[in-house]
Structures are given as C-alpha cells and as structure tokens.
Structure 1
Amino acid sequence: MRAAVCRRPGGPEVLEISEVPVPAVRAGWSLVEVKAAGLNRSELRTRQGHSPAVSFPRVLGIECVGVVAASTDPRLPEGTTVAAVMGEMGREFDGGYAEYALLPNSLLMPISTTLSWDVLAALPETYLTAHGSLDALGVVPGGPARLLIRGGTSSVGMAAASIASGYGLETAATTRRHDKIAALTAAGVDHVLLDTGDPLARSMHSIWPEGPDYVLELVGARTTVDSLHLVRRGGTVCVAGSLSGWTIPNFEAIAMIPPGTKLTAFHSDSLKGTAGTPVLQRIVHEVEAGTYRPNIDRVFPLDDIVKAHHYMETNQATGKVVVLP
C-alpha cells in the first residue's frame, strides 16, 4: 500500500510517499481502508519533532474515515463505514496518512451517512472538539448568550461558529487576516474582529461593553490571559487549542484569573471511540440537513502531502484541509 511516511523530524519535505506492507489484522484491532483523512496542526508539530514520545519513521494522522476491510470484532463487519480520531493514532502507532490503517477496535466509530468522503473527513476532530468545547463552556441551545471564538478561521473555530449559529448564540470571532472575514461571516459569525496582536479590549467592548459570556480560546498560550480579562465577570474561558503553543509563561492563577471568572479546557481525546460515536452521528445528521457547514478549505491527494503540510504550516487555510489516499 501507499503511505506518507515521516522519516525524521523536519520540514514538510520529510514526508515521503512510500510503498509499505498492508498491516496484518490482530486481536483487538481492525484494518480500515482509508478513504480520507483530515489534517491537523498537532501533526505538524509531531513532524517538526515537538512530540518527544513519537519515534520515527511514523505514518502520521490523528484521524481518518473509511471502510472496515478486515476485523475480528462482530460490531464492525467488513464494509462498515467508520471514523477514528485520537487515541495515539499517528503517534504511538501509524495513523491516517495511508491507503490502509490498522486501528484499535475501541477507537472505531461506526457511522451512517450519505456524505462524500471528503466532507465526512472534515468532521471528526474538528466538530468533536468544537462540540465538546461548547459543552465544557456550558453553552446550551436557545439561551441568550454571547460567544467569542479566538482563532476563528481555524478548522475548530469554523466548526464552533457553525454549531453556535445553529444554537442561536450571538457570536464574535477573531482573525489576523482581512481576507478571511468573509469566510467567518459565511460560517455564521455576527461580529468579526481583526487581531493585530494588541489586546482586544477596545474592539471587543465596542460590541459587548460587559464582555462575552463565553470565550472559546483556540489561539492558546499567547492570548489566554487576555481572554480571562475580556470575558464578563462570572463568565467562562475554555482553552481547546494551542495555535500559539502549549504553555502559558509565568502563569499565576490567583493573579491572572479575575475573581468569579472560570477557566476550563477540552481535549478531543475525551470523545474518542464509543464516547464520541453518538455525538459524531448527530453532527453528521446536522451537516446532512444543512444546519452545520463542513468548512472544507482544500482537498489534496496523498501524493501532494508535502504541499498540504506547507499549506497548513503557512496558515493559508480557512477551515479544514483534507487528504484523499
């Protein structure tokens, strides 16, 4: 089979299309014919060598969708459409950048859908993260509430905007690029704020003087403290992304979290496998109904995986990048 193998840490060029053996099925694992895989910035960091636990060579890819080709699990007969995400895919064992992937049965989520493979592949990691993050914030459909999404043109940000629009929330979102404003508006965002690197307070308070009720923080380390001071008193900030890194320098909780403000987090590993199956199925139905948007930016063939990683690394995407084996 063909696979994009990351031979060593480095730039996009370290991803090589290679012929490798199709993995043999073993107890507790199923062979999935990969039909499409969404790309994620965590894979970029792993490729760059920022995941010390990952050894090379490795087939990257923390998510994929496809069809069960061989299985020992009666719950997963051959031909079943499945999605898989996280659970050390593309890190501890080979992931979705290949024509076939051998995956733990516990990770596989059987899905019923009429969506095309590229659309289905745009959903698991992004929409499960967005959905779980809004749950962690305490957002509920129909309630009068204001949500700020920092990092709005990321794939998770676009998904969160789509869900929040379906919920009836008033939303604002940030972007660093003027040419991405229209995409956020199309995703259902009510107010788009240009993030110039300065604190957002002035532009934020011109829209909502008391601040948003909720902040979905996808930029991460660089802006989390600022978000804690933007949200209204008693509001909640959820960190669910790390576009600017993993750690907040010199973070002092008592000094940096305003009284009454809540700080939480969400990681998509919480909705992998059985826990995520009903949630992902509902998301698929909402996309099929036109309530949610898949927000695909661009689709690459697997042979162009180097170009796809360069495209992602240079922040050209507005939404999800998908690869088709």
Structure 2
Amino acid sequence: MKAVTITQPGGPEVLEWTDVPDPVPQTGEVLIEVEASAVNRADILQRQGLYDPPPGTSPYPGLECSGRIAALGPGVASWTVGDEVCALLTGGGYAEKVIAPVGQVLPIPKGVGLVEAAALPEVTCTVWSNLFGWFDGGDLTSSGLFAAAHLRPGETLLVHGGSSGIGTMAIQLAKAVGAKVAVTAGTREKLDRCAELGADILVNYREQDFVAAVRKATNGAGADVILDNMGAKYLDRNVKALAVNGRLAIIGMQGGVKGELNIGALLAKRAAISATSLRARPLGEKAAIVAAVREHVWPLIDAGHVRPVVDREVPMSDAAAAHRVVEESGHVGKVLLVAP
C-alpha cells in the first residue's frame, strides 16, 4: 500500500507519498481501507519532530479516518467486512489502509458522506471528553465519570480558535446542551462562520481583549468554562476570564508550554484547570470515550442538529499542501485528505 511518511523532521516538504508494508490486524483490531483522513495539529507537531507517536503504534501521521472494513482480527464480532465506518486512531490515517482497535470504530452517521465522516472522530472525542464526560447512562448533560470542565446548561463556554475543527464542533455541542458560547477568531469571516453555527459572543482576538469582551458580554461574570488550544500564552488571561467556580480545559500548546500561574487569582475564583491529550490515553479510556460519543453525539448528528464542518478536500498524495493550509490557519473546520 501507499502511505504518507515523514522522511525527516521539518516543513511540509518532508511528507512523502510512498510504498510501505500493508498492516495486519491483530486480536481486537480491524483493517480499514481508508477513504479519507484529516489534518490535525498533532500531525503537524509529529512532522516537526515534536510529538512522537506512542511506542508500538504506526509511525505515519493521521489520527482519524473513514473507510470500509477490509479484514477482521481475531475476536472481532461486532463488525463485518465491507462495513462503512470512521475511526479514532493513534496514527497511520494518512494511508490507503490502517489498523484500528475495535473499540475506536464508529458507524457513519445518517446524512454524512463517507469522505465527510473522516472529519468527526477526533473532534467529537476531544470535545466530549473535555467538556462533557466519558460514559454514563444519562443524557448529554450528565455523566458518571465526567470531564473536569463538565459544561452545564445555561453556562457560558469560551472557545479559543472557534473556527477550527475542534472549535466548530464545540460550538455545536455546547449549544445542543443549552450553553451560551463565546469564541475567539482572527477574521470577521471566521467569526461569521462561528455565528452561523450558533456562537453568541464573537471576539476578534487581533482587535479585542477577550477577557474584557467576555466579561462585558456576561455582565462581569466571565466564562464558566474555557476550552483552550493556546496553552502558556493565554494562561494568565484565561484565569482572569474565568467566572467564580470556572473551569479551564487546556487541550493544546500553540502558544507555548511554559506560563506563569497566579495561584491567588485561581483560589479567589475557586477555579480548576485540567489538561488532557487524547492520543496517548489507554485503549480502555479511548473505547469509553468513543462509546459515549456514539451514544450521545451520534444521535445529534443523525437528527441534523450537529454536523461536521469541512473546509476542503485535498488528495492524500498532496498532504504537504494540506499541512500548509492548516499551519497558515487558512481554513474553517477540517481539512480532509482523500485517498486515491
């Protein structure tokens, strides 16, 4: 088969579409013939040599895919060859074939095309596990083992990078539970797209101080929950933007890895900070998250209340071009890589 390999750490030019050995599914795994994958920031970090895949996993980038099941490993009875699926991956999605643990495989939601479905696994699982919960028997607003942020109806969520793949999904799911949503983005066009998805408070971070803007829009209260992809650069201001009993969920480090935290401000607000990554979670945790997404999020997609947002489709053999688009933030939603 062919896959996108990283010849050496560097810019997009180090991505090469080349022949590699076919993967073979082991116990509890399925082999998927890939229809499409998607570009995530983690893929860019891996290409730059800053985010190695976990030991024993595929060396190729790609944390999600859609396609058809081509083979079943021993012990897999819940799927059949030919089923159309999408899957959360630890790596390897930029390829014609990929292995996925059975617990990380999802059916294609109603009304979503097979290529388009590649935009769903990473964003739905990331947003769910940070803002809502992992698994339970209740509705979207309750969970037994829940995320530290635990967004509730009537609360205000601030999403940094509202026009990103994560951001566009967070807006929709937050609105589905009855929350108010504030977003930051760098252009009027991107903010308009966020508003179309339901965002209530629009902040152009190039022109406005998001702390002041969110406080003004909430009558001085601040955001109950912040979903942050920036990390160190926004740490101090995020704490200032939090409401009393607020929760800050850090899921990225685009703004650096080391910041100064005012413990006094955090104590005064009785606030909490959590930081998570999805890729390195144990298989059991990821399977629980995927199961919860299927139970709680898939019905919203089936009903048309939530949808994947796709900016463009790029041939997988031209992954370098797709990486350039994402690195330049020249997109809204997801950039997909379509296999031959």
Whether TM exceeds 0.5 here: the answer is yes
Q: 1:279 to 1:26 in 2, by over 3 A?
A: closer
**1:44 Cα offset (Å):** 0.2
Conservation of the 8 A alpha-carbon contact between 2:25 and 2:71: yes
Q: Which amino acid aligns with 1:35?
A: E
Query: 2:326 — aligned with what?
Result: 312
Q: Given the superposition, is the C-alpha separation of residues 198 and 182 from structure 1 closer, same or farther in structure 2, using an over 3 Å criterion?
A: closer
Question: Structure 1 residue 52: deviation in Å?
Answer: 4.9
Distance change >3 Å, CA 25–CA 52, structure 1 → 2:
closer
Q: Which residue of 1 aligns with 2:2?
A: 2
Deviations 1:138-176 (A, max 9, x none): 213xx3221111221221111100111122211111112
Counterpart for residue 140 of structure 2: none
Moved more, 155-164 or 274-283: 274-283
Question: How far 1:196 sits from its partner (Å)?
Answer: 2.5
One-letter amino acid of the counterpart of residue 312, structure 1? V
Query: Deviation string for 1:111-151 (max 9, x for gaps)?
Result: 253321222111110111112221221213xx322111122
Q: Which amino acid aligns with 2:236?
A: V
2:82 equivalent to 1:79: yes
Q: Is residue 206 from structure 1 mapped to residue 216 from structure 2 by the alignment?
A: yes
Match of 2:263 in 1: 254
Letter in 2 for 1:257: L
Q: Is the CA contact (8 Å cut-off) linking 2:39 and 2:335 kept in structure 1?
A: yes
Offset from partner CA, 1:31-88 (integer Å, 9 cap, x none): 2111211210000000011125679x932111112222111222333123333324xx
* Residue type of the alignment partner of 2:316: L
- Give the direction of change, closer, same or farther, for the CA distance of 1:178–1:110 in structure 2 (3 Å limit): closer
Residues 11-41 of structure 1: per-residue CA shift (max 9 Å, x gap): 1111111133322344444321112112100
Partner residue in 1 for 2:119: 122
| Partner amino acid, structure 1, of 2:183 | A
User: Where does residue 277 of structure 1 map in the other structure?
Assistant: 291
Cα RMSD for the two superposed structures: 2.4
SS of the residue corresponding to residue 276 of structure 1 reads: helix
Asked whether the equivalents of residues 228 and 258 of structure 1 are also in contact (C-alpha less than 8 Å), the reply is no
Question: Is 1:263 the counterpart of 2:273 in the alignment?
Answer: yes
Name the amino acid aligned to 1:80. D
* Alignment-derived partner of residue 109 in structure 1: 105
Query: Relative to structure 1, is the Cα distance of residues 226 and 25 closer, same or farther in structure 2, using a 3 angstrom cutoff?
Result: same
Cα 1:280–1:244 change in 2 (3 A) is farther
| Runs (5+) with no aligned partner, structure 2 | 133-146
Q: Distance in 1 between the 2:125 and 2:65 partners?
A: 13
Give me the whole-angstrom Cα distance separating, in 2, the residues matched to 1:119 and 1:286.
16
Counterpart of 1:227 in structure 2 is: 238
Q: Distance in 1 between matches of 2:59 and 2:99?
A: 13
**Counterpart-to-counterpart distance in 2, 1:192 and 1:319:** 17
% same residue: 28
For 1:262 and 1:102, locate their aligned partners in 2 and report how far apart those are by CA, in whole Å: 37
Give the superposition deviation at 1:267.
Answer: 3.0
Whole-angstrom CA distance in 1 between matches of 2:277 and 2:124: 12
SS at match of 2:223: coil
TM normalised by structure 2 equals: 0.84
Q: Cα distance, 1:199 vs. partner?
A: 4.5
Matched with 1:191 is 201
Stretches of structure 1 that go unaligned for 5 or more consecutive residues are none
How far off is 1:256 after superposition? 5.6
In the alignment, is residue 324 of structure 1 matched against residue 324 of structure 2? no
What does 1:25-64 correspond to in 2, within 5 Å? Answer: 25-52=25-52, 58-64=59-65
Q: Find the residue that maps to 2:8 and give its secondary structure.
A: coil
> Which whole-Å CA distance do the structure 1 matches of 2:100 and 2:114 have between them?
19
Mapped partners of 2:278, 2:170: distance in 1: 14
Relative to structure 1, the CA distance from residue 226 to residue 36 in structure 2 (aligned partners, 3 Å threshold; closer, same or farther) is same
Which of 140, 150, 161 aligns to 2:171? It is 161
Cα distance 1:166–1:24, how it changes in 2: closer, same or farther (>3 A)?
closer
